[in-house]
Structure 1
Amino acid sequence: MIFFRILKESFNFAIHALTVNKLRTILSLLGVTIGIFTIISVFTIVDSLERSIRSSVSELGSNVVYIQKMPWGGGGGEYKWWQYFQRPEPSYSDFEKLENRTTTTKALCYAFAMNKTLKNGLNSIENATVLPTTHDYYEIWNYDLGEGRYFSPQESKSGAPVAVIGSALAEGLFGSQNPIGKDVKMMGRKMRVIGVFEKQGQSLVGQNIDEFMVVPMNFARAIMNVEDQNGAFIMAMTKDNVELVAMKDELRGLMRSIRKLKPKADDNFALNEMSLISGGLDVLFGIVGAAGAVIGGFSILVGGFGIANIMFVSVRERTNQIGIQKSLGAKNYFILLQFLLESIVLCLIGGSLGILIVYLLLLIFGPSIDFDIMLSPKNVIQGLSISAVIGVISGFIPAYIASRLDPVEAIRSGG
């Protein structure tokens, strides 16, 4: 009951401080407001950016290994960069041999990207991304289809002239028409559109399925050489009861055997997985978050001095009142808590204004930004917590001085 009584009085004193000298209070609260606005803006943007990037990265699959020529992130300095370029690309024959020998994979596919011109009547799109792939690609990536369907196993096996296209390609080639069942021409060959991927937009890791056209690998084999294509990769998904590390160990052994590497020879391929990117993201966003905290910290420091100034003035103006309270039996801790809570309330008011400004700016400008920025409950709690801490730090010394005043001297000085 005493605490709530003190809190009520402190809140009333804080509101009084706001109304008695409005200009002084506004200028002092401005520092806290700007500080909280700065640091919460940084935290909100960083958290939203991290959430979007991690969501994009998660599409790569936590239970998927990519067999590629180059390691993600440069391989941690294990080899010189030019040694990577001497490696052979994963080939279709590598994939076939793996498919016949592996026992730990639930799905396995071979794919590569190439840029081709696509035509439909008078409409054409140059440098469109075409992805020839084996059948399990859709099971590993599991994209949503807006219309139509994916290849059947028989279509993949026979190399049927069919294609699944992204929404941007569908719009560019067919306009407002339904593309399902219509033809697309590539390299002089016609393909029937059997599906359209649901519109997703470009992910923050550069993947844009809206501009992809996926065709069966065996169709591509009939019109071109699919061996040793630049950027080719093999994707392997683990069985439900198999650990990722077990699949990696098997794939490494099989690839070394397929490529006839000697026991002491280094791998001439890379086994990439999402954890390689996730580890780098942890470091990156840790640095960005720390930098944002430092930037906001300087603003909050200025705001803290402003609140401390208000509290020192408040103590001086209410010295007589403090003396009367102490002469009537008020304990030191009562006076200390009274002023300390007043400082915290003032900082919370300034912090709340800063958070409100962030929220309003996101409402106005958020829709025009390429990725979703959201003021999360975590960010709000962070802002209010920082405000409360600044209130404690800024108000402790003035509150302590007030609590140690001699009641007789305080009454005299006030008179």
Structure 2
Amino acid sequence: MQFLRQVLESFRFAWQALRSNLLRTTLSLLGVTIGIFAIIAVFTLVDSLERSVKDSLSFIGDKVLYVQKWPWTFGGDYQWWKYFQRPEPTYKEYRFLSDKLENAAAVVAMDFKGRVTVKRNNNSMASLIQGTTFDYNKISDVPTVNGRYFTQQEMNLARNVTVIGGEVADNLFPDEDPVGKVIKINGSNFTVIGVQEKKGQGLINFGGNPDIKCLIPYGSFAKMFHSINPSIDIAIKGYESDEGLLELESEIRGLMRTRRGVRPTQEDNFAINRPDAAAEAIGGIFGVLTVAGWVIGGFSILIGGFGIANIMFVSVKERTNIIGIQKSLGAKNYFILFQFLFEAILLSLVGGLAGISLVYLLSFIKLGTLTLHLTAGNIMLGLGVSSIIGIISGIIPAFSASRLDPVVAIRAK
């Protein structure tokens, strides 16, 4: 109990010392403030980017492979001339893969047409039309806030029905329920059967912004937009048990090479793309940003740490006489040590809190489609780094103060 009382008394002395030298306190914590701001700002930016990328990729699908003409590559030279002569995937190849694949949970054909006019009475807008097959909701997130998804019969018979995005619903039906109403897509009548939940523009939007999209059966899409040699994207979802989708990718490659008559010595004339490749590529960029944040913040914190240590040595020098009096009255060495160590930690924590507060204010700034989120983990990281800097900066001055001879200290001027 006595020990706890002395610790609290040390804390009170430290707080009074900081309050009595506000200007000096403010100047000495600037380095820590800038350092913590740099580190936590970068971490917050990286976390927010990762969250945005994951949200965007959730619409592409988890454990999904895409069979396409063009490969997704990140970094390096893109050898477009090498892929230019490749044939486009076709609906017949989709049917072939759908019938033959054994390691696939779902096989989907899809195609897109941008800036198509959709109308309802006097309201109209440019929309993205996506034709797709029945299992599309198994590979991609299609949350409906009103109505329903397609039935198998509607897909098989290529009915003129559509699931519209949130912005399409707001623009064409500002004051009424869209479900059951008829809209015109490229001049053809389509009945709205569902409205998707608003998702917002993501950092990565494969297939476009879902809020301005109209999903329709692939057969209806083909009748409106396909003429000679129609091409599609083929999306294939694997089973959870297929770790890394290795079995599915190997099976797809074998079937596609067989279907297209590719000889054993020839390269694939198609691409098997993975959404997680995009996440890994962007993750590498995040890693570089994180290192940069630590380097920039580290230099600022180092300067701030030296500033705090310097201030603490000055404080010890100024209060040497008081230390001697405290020791002559029975103060233990740890009481003196805690007094100055707490002062250094408090000084560093105030700087850290100031830096975190700046990041919090930064989170209110709109950065296009990106929303910054200051997480509890980053706050704890900032406070933890600040505390460590305070301990490192204050331990030597505090130890030197605790070892002062009381007789010599009292006589100091």
- TM-score, length basis structure 1: 0.88
Contact 1:62–1:273 (CA under 8 A) maintained in structure 2: no
Aligned to 1:351: 352
Q: Which residue of 1 aligns with 2:100?
A: 101
Moved more, 349-358 or 193-202: 349-358
Do residues 31 (structure 1) and 3 (structure 2) align?
no
* Alpha-carbon distance between aligned partners in 2 of 1:368 and 1:265, rounded to the nearest angstrom: 47
Distance between the aligned counterparts of 1:245 and 1:134, measured in 2?
25
Shift of the alpha carbon at 1:113? 0.8
Contact 1:220–1:226 (CA<8 Å) still a contact in 2?
no
Distance in 1 (CA, whole Å) between partners of 2:348 and 2:340 is 12
Instruction: Report the secondary structure of 1:73's partner residue.
Output: coil
Alignment check: 8 A CA contact 1:6 1:334 kept:
yes
**Distance in 2 between residues matched to 1:366 and 1:233, nearest whole Å:** 38
Q: Is the 8 A contact 1:106 1:240 kept in 2?
A: no
Greater displacement, 342-351 / 297-306: 297-306
Residue by residue over 1:22-44, the C-alpha shift from the partner in whole angstroms, topping out at 9 and shown as x without a partner, is: 22222223433343234323322
Q: Is 1:179–2:157 an aligned residue pair?
A: no
SS in 2 for 1:190: strand
The answer on whether the counterparts of 1:7 and 1:341 sit within 8 Å (CA) in structure 2 is no
**Mapped contact 1:166–1:198 kept (Cα < 8 A):** yes
CA positional deviation for 1:132: 1.0
2:412 partner SS: helix
Paired residue secondary structure (2:383): helix
Q: How many residues align?
A: 409
Cα distance, 1:242–1:41 mapped onto 2, change above 3 Å: closer
Q: Distance in 2 between matches of 1:369 and 1:82?
A: 34
Give the equivalent residue in structure 2 for 1:163. Answer: 162
Query: Which consecutive unaligned segments of at least 5 residues does structure 1 have?
Result: none
Distance, in Å, in 1 between the alignment partners of 2:275 and 2:6 is: 54
CA–CA separation in structure 2 for the residues paired with 1:295 and 1:229: 52
Residues 369 and 410 of structure 1, relative CA distance in 2, 3 Å threshold: farther
Q: Are 2:202 and 1:200 equivalent residues in the alignment?
A: no
Give the Å deviation of 1:2: 7.8
- Report the CA distance between 1:255 and its aligned residue: 0.9
Q: Is the 8 A contact 1:11 1:345 kept in 2?
A: no
Flag the 1:331–1:177 CA change in 2: closer, same or farther, 3 A.
closer
Structure 2, unpaired ranges of 5+: none
Judged with a 3 Å threshold, the aligned counterparts in structure 2 of structure 1 residues 283 and 226 are, in CA distance, closer, same or farther, namely farther
State the alpha-carbon separation in 1 of the partners of residues 314 and 293 from structure 2.
32
Q: Secondary structure at the match of 2:179?
A: coil
Residue deviations 1:331-375, cap 9 Å, x none? 76664454233311221233223334444554xx26787444322
- CA shift, 1:379, in A, is 1.0
C-alpha distance 89-227 of structure 1, shift in aligned 2 (>3 A): farther
Per-residue CA distance 1:293-341 (angstroms, 9 max, x = gap):
2333333334323322320121001212334556678776664454233
**Partners of 1:181 and 1:192 within 8 A in 2:** yes
CA distance in 2: counterparts of 1:397 and 1:241, whole angstroms = 57
What secondary structure does 2:204 align onto? coil
How much does 1:398 deviate? 2.1
**3-state SS of 1:303 partner:** helix
Contact 1:348 1:388 in 2 (8 A): yes
CA–CA separation in structure 1 for the residues paired with 2:274 and 2:251: 15
Structure 2 CA distance for aligned equivalents of residues 227 and 410 of structure 1 = 96
Amino acid aligned to 2:374: L
Question: Are residues 1:135 and 2:134 paired?
Answer: yes
Work out whether residues 344 and 390 of structure 2, in 8 Å CA contact, stay in contact via their aligned partners in 1. yes
What is the aligned-residue identity percentage? 49
The equivalent of 1:238 in structure 2 is 238
**RMSD of aligned Cα (Å):** 2.7
Q: Corresponding residue for 1:209? A: 210
SS in 2 for 1:72: coil
Of 332-341 and 151-160, deviating more is 332-341
Please give the alpha-carbon distance, in whole angstroms, between the structure 2 residues aligned to 1:258 and 1:281.
34
